[in-house]
Structure 1
């Protein structure tokens, strides 16, 4: 009697799509909407419609901090969910290449618009580095909470040391070769700056919170149903990278056209 041939092993099967969590996507979508409003106000100021000082005004600085924190916390949550669902390195690598490629495009585009303050290490650059670190440290479990606290605390400590006892080392850490670490005595002159420290701490906290929520009996914390009115936020959150890359060129293009018409 002929025996049935064995089924192909798992490595040859197509990977199952990862399950989406509308609540997490909606939280990321909220960050994108808030970011859009912030960038729209920045564009108005840049084009002279509504002059504001985005570099020193606490109102704008605090909003940027909250927006970036929310975005990176969601990135940590997303990594926890992906790992819980068995996302392998190949799929992670494809997404990572998309983020890294978009970071290079942001640098190139900002160099055209702001040659003296172009973005050499903004949010996408930071995410590319931080996601790799998060992926490699996901096994730390509860220690991620402490690691996040240390990451957040290191920059102000470094700032004090580089402004005092370690002043001779300040030019090294403030230079472009190392300022992406975040251990600086002064921030670089650039349109966006999201160094590894302290922001890795926020992403680590998101990863730790996601791992806690995905543990047995707590998955409901990341899968609560959305009201109908919030579903567009979830859709926006699913396409956050594409939206991020497109929203500023569109807004700047429209506002530039308005400025040109108004002057005419």
Structure 2
């Protein structure tokens, strides 16, 4: 079993979803949807940093933080199938290679950077790794949104009502062939989250992206956060960590 994961456990842990996404007549509502996930992710990690430096006390296993993490992941991951559905139905010759390449490079970079910085907790399958794999696996099903959503719902139901998809010995089996740390800074398990991705296309089929969205400063900020979700994801924790660490140091000098 995995030890306590410092949610950079990004969860973010954790979240692609689709962090990078297609530029097809942008939907203001979808921008706000994903931008809200980015904002919640930043809040979560800020609270984690405050906890890490002693400004807050809480367990990431408390129900509030578990549900908070689940909400963030759900927003990100449903957006993967949703945005892919829009692309496949609106683009004449849809191509995902640029997005896939960005995800692959970013995920590889995260693994390399964390391996060099914290080799005992490096990220080998975090949110970006999961999004990259999930995007490839679920893309063929996106054209059939109702079937995709039903399959996703079945996966989620089976996961929460049985232990069939829990695979408690998976980590032990994998580490008998590949050496991996018992702790990791970020991990997203395939189940039930692949089911959440599969529900995403239904939102596109139901035309949620056409929901009227007001124009104001708050909406513009969330849309901006969505457009630059990937660079924000890659840099925000470093910035937050440095800010909280600096504040802690200043307080130490004053008091």
Q: TM-score, normalised by structure 2?
A: 0.78
Instruction: Give 1 or 2 for the bigger CA radius of gyration.
Output: 1
Residue 76, structure 1, aligned to residue 81, structure 2: yes
Residue 41, structure 1, aligned to residue 38, structure 2: no
Residue 252 of structure 2 corresponds to 263
Residue 105, structure 1, aligned to residue 109, structure 2: yes
Provide Cα deviations, 1:170-210, integer angstroms capped at 9, x if missing partner.
43x233739xxxxxxxxx74332212221111111111221
Residue 252 of structure 1 corresponds to 241
The 3 A distance-change label for structure 1 pair 131 and 39 is: same
For the residues of structure 1 that align with 2:212 and 2:153, how far apart are their CA atoms?
Answer: 28
5+ unaligned residues in a row in structure 2: which ranges?
1-21, 176-181
Residue 137 of structure 1 corresponds to 141
The 3 A distance-change label for structure 1 pair 260 and 17 is: closer
Q: TM-score, normalised by structure 1?
A: 0.75
The 3 A distance-change label for structure 1 pair 177 and 155 is: farther
Residue 129 of structure 2 corresponds to 125
Where do 1:42-61 residues align within 5 Å? 42-54=48-60, 56-61=61-66
How many aligned positions are there?
A: 225
The 3 A distance-change label for structure 1 pair 107 and 224 is: same
Residue 15 of structure 2 corresponds to none
SS at match of 1:159: coil
5+ unaligned residues in a row in structure 1: which ranges?
1-15, 163-168, 179-187, 214-219
Where do 1:1-264 residues align within 5 Å? 18-54=24-60, 56-86=61-91, 88=93, 91-112=95-116, 114-156=118-160, 159=163, 170-171=168-169, 173-175=170-172, 177=174, 189-213=183-207, 221-229=209-217, 230-264=219-253
- CA shift at 1:35, angstroms? 0.9
Conservation of the 8 A alpha-carbon contact between 1:40 and 1:251: yes
RMSD: 2.6
Provide Cα deviations, 1:68-120, integer angstroms capped at 9, x if missing partner.
1011112221111111122646x311111111211122223333554333322
Provide Cα deviations, 1:18-55, integer angstroms capped at 9, x if missing partner.
2111110111101111111110000111223323221x
For the residues of structure 1 that align with 2:165 and 2:139, how far apart are their CA atoms?
Answer: 31
For the residues of structure 1 that align with 2:102 and 2:172, how far apart are their CA atoms?
Answer: 27
Structure with the higher helix share, 1 or 2: 1
Provide Cα deviations, 1:205-229, integer angstroms capped at 9, x if missing partner.
111221232xxxxxx7525233313
For the residues of structure 1 that align with 2:117 and 2:246, how far apart are their CA atoms?
Answer: 16
The 3 A distance-change label for structure 1 pair 120 and 176 is: farther
SS at match of 1:147: helix
